Structure 1
Amino acid sequence: MKIRVIRAFPCSAALVAAGLVLTACGASGDSGSGQSGPASFEGRGPITYVTGKDTTGTLQPVLDRWNKLHPKEKVTLIQLPTDADAQRQQMIQNAETKSDAYTVLSLDVVWTSEFAAHQWIDKLPERQFPLHKMLKPVVETAKYRGGLYAVPASSDGGMLYYRADLLKKAGVAGPPKTWAELKEDCAKVRKLPEGKGMSCYAGQFQKYEGLTVNFAEAVNSAGGEVTDADGRPDVDTPAARKGLDFLAGSFKDGTIPKEAITYQEEDSRQAFQSGKLLFLRNWPYVYSLAQKSKVAGKFAVAPLPGLNGPGASSLGGHNLALSSFARNKATALDFMKFFTSEQTAKSFLQGASLAPPYARLYDDPALVKQYPYLPVLKQSVLRAVPRPRVVQYGDATSAIQREAYAALNGGKSSAQALTDLQKDLKKVMGQ
């Protein structure tokens, strides 16, 4: 993917996509420290906002509103690849070179501990943000060792998108609550003329962060866990094996189409919108886009199914963090308050179906009428299970992706993959 690099202010920084060579540059304002201890939050002037590629088209209008109100403190958007692993790597490379090219970072919720432990992001003044109005599981993703190191901008819970029109025509009363029901429903729909040639189910199974999410959801939805309450690996269990068996077995029996081994979020969304899939596991952002596609008015959403009943999503979303090496931190802090406000969260909900961190928005009658999936999404977020919150998250997710992928493509049995993963995770966590 070609990366377009934008500089926030004149300097000698070189941003090279092939290696992301970054050097600190001189500019007026706060110098940034990158050191432990309370941040000074001094300096005003231009800043940058660094995030994955905006596929919704709703981000720039929000930044434009800020820039109109703050013409001397403009924010410039730096878009990284859509792949979460590539985003994380480029942010880490920027931090390791102590570059001030990145100011405010949009972090996957699971990266907070890693970035805070390495002192790549500043500890934030907790009382300056309305955290008491947000869903508690969402707020917890922004903390490390009791301190606030990020602010929730959006949450995320996986949901099951399904073709309600085809289920109804096949005589199915409602969406499946279990994996067995999902497969039974697929068999009924495939007997319809409209279901001929359709695939049953897909999620995100390419070897990237999405695979970690889908693997963890399958394990949790079968009653297993990746790590226990104390953070110790606990994945080599019968329950975890049932979860991975569902995914691997579904590839083998055709429930999941073979091409889904290459799917990321956008690939799977497009497959569903084009009418190729009966069921899709994906995030809430899909809802507004699907309403503009050929399946508009034909689909609905439900909780993810599990082994014996409704499953559990991995907790997703993004938090805003402040680079320890940034300049103009007073401006950055104000921008973070603006971007994570309830008003902005509502605009992202209305424009892109992004899950808001604010509890009140899920219960607003007018919003629920306009977005009927909100009650499902709220339960998804509240029931969601965090991915392993470990400092060595990069190594942990790489191990998960490697072993899960081997099971899905038939390179290993589920049992062997989980045995190997247990050993890998213990090594990663120094246990």
Structure 2
Amino acid sequence: MTAVPLRRATRTSGAVLAGLAVLAACGAPGGASTVHAKPSFEGRGPITYVAGKDATGSVQLVLDRWNKLHPKEKVTFVQLPTDPDAQRQQMIQNAQTKSDAYTVLSLDVVWTSEFAAHRWVDPLPQDRFPLRKMLKPIVETGKYRGGLYAVPASSDGGMLYYRTDLLKRAGIKRPPATWAEMKADCAKVRKLPEAKGMHCYAGQFQKYEGLTVNFAEAVNSAGGLVTDPAGAPRVDTPQARRGLDFLVDSFKDGTIPKDAITYQEEDGRRAFQAGKLIFERQWPYMYPLVAKEDGSSKVAGRFAVAPLPGLTGPGASSLGGHNVALSASAENKATALDFMEFLTSEKLQRFTLATAPAAPTFDELYKDPKLVKKYPYLPTLKRSILHAVPRPRVFRYGDVTAAIQREAYAAMTGSKNSAQALKDLQKTLRQQRAAQ
């Protein structure tokens, strides 16, 4: 984590998120109805961009482009921890103290409702951003009660990375579409001499936001729901149990290695890149890192991506990505709004694809033949996004994700069976919803 001096209006944090909205009347936390006053986007000068640690090194390249063109309105990158839960907590602390240290925030797409409901971010003018050119599911993540509070800077969809060379040698002609097929393919591959000591599959299973994502994907991919469109919990169902059982049983039978219970994104990426995994559930950022031919990847040129598998056919990713939002307590908001336009532009996304292959938000970028040739994962990624299921969009998201992580982890580590974990989760989520 890079230390940055705390000064008025000179902190920035890097990722690619944003906030939208012109909110008329909306319910404030605690049930009181309030009207969000139209913010005044005034003031020019230095600002900050606040985001999680930049694993690709691309954020500073982007900021350097801006700073070269705007020497009197420079953006400083404030890097937060890699853990999304820690990022969210630090942003909330800044908002609660009404500090101007953070200006433009890179928000996980599921944080919009919480930050908007608490008025930690400003509603944004929709006519400043080319939202109609973006994929609709991505745009919706920036809205709260009809207003725009965050602007999509990048999206994300989970994909199945797999070893093309090993599947071919085992006589497998296509990647698995179901969990059963994946386990059967693993059994064949692991009989190969060159697959000795390899593990079958991993995702992100440490007790953090990644576990919520993987749990939700398992439930959705088995035909279940975590919450319905109105936000009511729906986890105590046979479908949800089949999804959680896939994870629990996979740890038990060795499909998922035991040490994967500690995996975050980078742990799994390093394992796949080192040739220790046949399959891995990951985001698109991993693709160029694994494809590097500088000796850092043992599987360069020997892998591809496919849709996530599910119970009876292709599964459903959780919808990921980051939006940029404007801190309500920030200064120099005129500069901030200009920077957000720059950060979420199609031109910049073309530039960043080469160094930080998060999912683009613009539909046109998925259709460009030159880009598809250069980045062959794009068609699979677009399909992942269009069929993705959002995580619960609630303004007390922190409480919801903590409950999901606690119960899913308990089931995977054997302290509860799946049925009891889901029953307890349903009860907790109902109580949390009633308390809103």
Give the superposition deviation at 1:235: 0.5
Distance between the aligned counterparts of 1:318 and 1:62, measured in 2? 16
**TM-score, normalised relative to structure 2:** 0.92
Distance between the aligned counterparts of 2:388 and 2:8, measured in 1? 43
| Aligned position for 1:338 | 342
| Aligned position for 1:21 | none
Per-residue Cα deviation, 1:72-95 (whole angstroms, up to 9, x for no partner): 000000000000000000000000
Determine if contact 2:204/2:268 at 8 Å carries over to the other structure.
yes
Unaligned runs of 5+ in 2: 12-34
Determine if contact 2:269/2:286 at 8 Å carries over to the other structure.
yes
Per-residue Cα deviation, 1:373-415 (whole angstroms, up to 9, x for no partner): 1110000000000000001100000000000000010110000
Determine if contact 2:203/2:263 at 8 Å carries over to the other structure.
yes
Distance between the aligned counterparts of 1:353 and 1:147, measured in 2? 28
Identity of aligned residues (%): 73
Distance between the aligned counterparts of 2:286 and 2:356, measured in 1? 8
Counterpart check, 1:325 vs 2:323: no
Determine if contact 1:8/1:76 at 8 Å carries over to the other structure.
no
Distance between the aligned counterparts of 1:348 and 1:243, measured in 2? 35
Distance between the aligned counterparts of 1:10 and 1:424, measured in 2? 41
Determine if contact 2:291/2:299 at 8 Å carries over to the other structure.
yes
Give the superposition deviation at 1:5: 2.6
Aligned pairs for 1:164-243 within 5 A = 164-243=164-243
Determine if contact 1:159/1:283 at 8 Å carries over to the other structure.
yes
Give the superposition deviation at 1:349: 1.6
Give the superposition deviation at 1:276: 0.5
Give the superposition deviation at 1:309: 0.1
| Aligned position for 1:55 | 55
| Aligned position for 1:18 | none
1:7 to 5, 8, 15: 5
Aligned pairs for 1:10-21 within 5 A = none
Amino acid at match of 2:2: R
| Aligned position for 1:271 | 271
Per-residue Cα deviation, 1:160-211 (whole angstroms, up to 9, x for no partner): 0000100000000110000000000000000000111100000000000000
Counterpart check, 1:93 vs 2:97: no
Distance between the aligned counterparts of 1:398 and 1:430, measured in 2? 17
| Aligned position for 1:357 | 361
Per-residue Cα deviation, 1:126-177 (whole angstroms, up to 9, x for no partner): 0110000000000000000000001000000000000010000000011000
Distance between the aligned counterparts of 1:252 and 1:312, measured in 2? 23
Runs of 4+ with >4 A deviation: 10-13
Per-residue Cα deviation, 1:291-315 (whole angstroms, up to 9, x for no partner): 0122110000000000000000000
Unaligned runs of 5+ in 1: 14-34
Distance between the aligned counterparts of 1:167 and 1:12, measured in 2? 51
| Aligned position for 1:382 | 386
Amino acid at match of 1:202: A
Determine if contact 2:9/2:48 at 8 Å carries over to the other structure.
no
Give the superposition deviation at 1:8: 6.0
Distance between the aligned counterparts of 2:104 and 2:281, measured in 1? 30
Per-residue Cα deviation, 1:302-357 (whole angstroms, up to 9, x for no partner): 00000000000000000000000000000000000001000111122222221100
Distance between the aligned counterparts of 2:50 and 2:92, measured in 1? 12
Distance between the aligned counterparts of 2:307 and 2:212, measured in 1? 19
Per-residue Cα deviation, 1:18-47 (whole angstroms, up to 9, x for no partner): xxxxxxxxxxxxxxxxx9311100000000
Distance between the aligned counterparts of 1:11 and 1:58, measured in 2? 23
- Secondary structure class of the residue paired with 1:429: helix
Distance between the aligned counterparts of 1:86 and 1:184, measured in 2? 38
Distance between the aligned counterparts of 2:98 and 2:229, measured in 1? 34
Distance between the aligned counterparts of 1:350 and 1:416, measured in 2? 46
Amino acid at match of 1:374: L
Per-residue Cα deviation, 1:43-75 (whole angstroms, up to 9, x for no partner): 000000000000011110110000000000000
Aligned pairs for 1:16-165 within 5 A = 36-165=36-165
Give the superposition deviation at 1:229: 2.1
Aligned residues: 408
Distance 1:47 1:11, change over 3 A: closer
Amino acid at match of 1:123: P
Distance between the aligned counterparts of 1:182 and 1:342, measured in 2? 37
Give the superposition deviation at 1:7: 2.9
Give the superposition deviation at 1:417: 0.3
Distance 1:8 1:133, change over 3 A: farther
| Aligned position for 1:418 | 422
Distance between the aligned counterparts of 2:9 and 2:225, measured in 1? 48
Distance 1:69 1:8, change over 3 A: farther
Distance between the aligned counterparts of 2:192 and 2:8, measured in 1? 62
Determine if contact 1:8/1:75 at 8 Å carries over to the other structure.
no
| Aligned position for 1:32 | none
| Aligned position for 1:250 | 250
- Secondary structure class of the residue paired with 1:351: coil
Distance between the aligned counterparts of 2:414 and 2:400, measured in 1? 22
- Secondary structure class of the residue paired with 2:411: helix
- Secondary structure class of the residue paired with 2:353: helix
Determine if contact 1:7/1:101 at 8 Å carries over to the other structure.
no
Amino acid at match of 1:194: E
| Aligned position for 2:15 | none
**TM-score, normalised relative to structure 1:** 0.93
Distance 1:36 1:229, change over 3 A: closer
Distance 1:12 1:175, change over 3 A: closer
- Secondary structure class of the residue paired with 1:330: helix
Give the superposition deviation at 1:10: 6.0
| Aligned position for 1:17 | none
Determine if contact 2:9/2:100 at 8 Å carries over to the other structure.
no
- Secondary structure class of the residue paired with 2:54: coil
